[in-house]
Amino acid sequence: MKKINILHLITRLPIGGAERMLLGVLHNLDSNQFNSVVCCIQDRGELADEVESIGVPVISLGLMKKGRYDRSIVPILRNIMNEHHINVIHTHLYHANLYGRIAANKESIPTIASVHNTYAKRKWHRHLINWFLAKRTFRITAGSAAVKDDLLKVDHIKNNKVAILPNAIDLQRVQSNLSNKEAKYALGIESTDILIGTVGRVEEQKGHKYLLEAISHLKNNKDIQNIKLLIVGDGRLLPSLKLMAKNLDINDISLFPGNISNLGDIYRAIDIFVMPSLWEGLSLSMLEAMAAKLPIIATDVGGVRDVLGDNKYGKIVNPSNHIEISSAIKSLIQNYELSNKMAILGEKKVRSEYSVKAMTKQLETLYIDALN
């Protein structure tokens, strides 16, 4: 049987949620049926070397550096599709979904476009573009029921065009051979410190400032003193976040290590995981933290409630509310029995329902269907 050639188009490959999920898919795709090529519109990003280490070539265009529309991208993509004899193009995130679908349509190549987030602040013209391009897309995959609802109600895309393909994680990436004490030591943190952690790009969407304000609130009220904050990620708001931490007088208990590849050891060091996002589809970092058996605090956005239930698998707080976040942190610290119960239940749920292996099987079916 002739292999199906898939072009995965993405903006770049930092250590973000959508990018880690793509890596998991590439790890699990049936190599007897599929060949993969990854193309980054901008630069490569930190995960590119790992992608290439599993035998998948990465092409970097080095374009769209200022985020503006670039006319040169579509003809370059068409050349890549022809050079690599692409049968199906799978696009990830907004800009890839835009350029990839335009180029694929000109080459009559079926497209699968993955949408991972709801878009609380998306400009009106993006809704119009999504609606127009949906007509020329084989299937749009939504990372959660909330994302599908957004696509149907806001972008007015037909129901039969959208398939829910829940964001999923590679369970191997959250494994660690270290104890909590050893993992903390590796980060220079005392074993007696309570480490509050979050993982994600340092962008407005992720709501880091409300987590900083929550830690400051706890510290100023002298509720709990031995807290340290670990923010894993990088992004354009990192300098301003560091300044904010300094102004809040919590600079001495905040760590900003940037992108880290050994996420399993990071999760092992964390005692409580907080996802303070202002909008999301379904946070991969939250799913990873649950798989790592951590108690979770997450804002009530996107598919969070679908995963956490009615505070059964973690504590749900309102977005943009540092008081609720600080209260939830205090509650989990002071109630170990509740914290441990949520962590155990959450781990079981994620490992059974959000495995990237199962999700990849669904994708393989979509790739085959797109050609029939």
- Rounded to whole angstroms, the Cα distance separating 115 from 281 reads 8
At residue 262, the pLDDT reads 81
How much is the pLDDT for 170?
Answer: 86
The answer to whether residue 302 scores a pLDDT higher than 60 is yes
Per residue in 323-333, pLDDT tens? 999 999 999 99
Q: What's the pLDDT at 127?
A: 64
The pLDDT tens digits for 101-147 are: 999 999 999 999 999 877 655 565 666 777 777 888 999 999 888 88
Considering the domain delimited by 4-168+355-370, tell me its CATH architecture: 3-Layer(aba) Sandwich (3.40)
pLDDT of residue 124: 54
Looking at the chain, the whole-number percentage of residues with pLDDT higher than 70 is 94
How does residue 68 score in pLDDT terms, banded at 50, 70 and 90?
A: confident
Model confidence over 3-41: pLDDT tens digits? 999 999 999 998 778 898 999 999 999 999 999 999 999
Residue 164 β-bridge partners:
142
- Give me the mean pLDDT over the 75-96 stretch: 96
pLDDT, position 220: 83
Say if residues 354 and 167 touch (Cβ distance below 8 Å): yes
Number of H helices, E strands in the chain: 15, 13
Q: How confident is the model at residue 263, as a pLDDT?
A: 85
Q: Which of 256-265, 293-302, 304-313, 319-328 has the lowest mean pLDDT?
A: 256-265
Q: What's residue 297's pLDDT?
A: 98
What pLDDT does 144 receive? 87
- Which pLDDT belongs to residue 56? 97
- At residue 260, the pLDDT reads 62
Alpha carbons 209 and 35: distance in angstroms, whole number? 42
Task: Tell whether pTM > 0.85.
Answer: no
Mean pLDDT of 84-98: 94
Name the class of domain 171-353.
alpha beta
pLDDT at 257: 58
| Predicted confidence band of residue 234 (pLDDT cuts 50, 70, 90) | confident
Q: What is the pLDDT of residue 233?
A: 81
Q: What is the pLDDT of residue 339?
A: 96
User: Where is average pLDDT lowest: 57-66, 131-140, 352-361?
Assistant: 131-140
pLDDT digits (tens, 9 = 90+) for 147-188: 898 888 888 889 999 999 988 888 888 899 999 999 999 988
User: 67 and 37 in contact (C-beta within 8 Å)?
Assistant: no
Of residues 85 and 262, more confidently modeled: 85
pLDDT of residue 156: 85
The ranges assigned to domains in the chain are 4-168+355-370, 171-353
Confidence band, pLDDT 50/70/90 cuts, at residue 237? confident
Average pLDDT over residues 55-70: 87
pLDDT for 242 equals: 87
Q: What is the mean pLDDT of the chain?
A: 90
Looking at residue 249, its pLDDT comes to 84
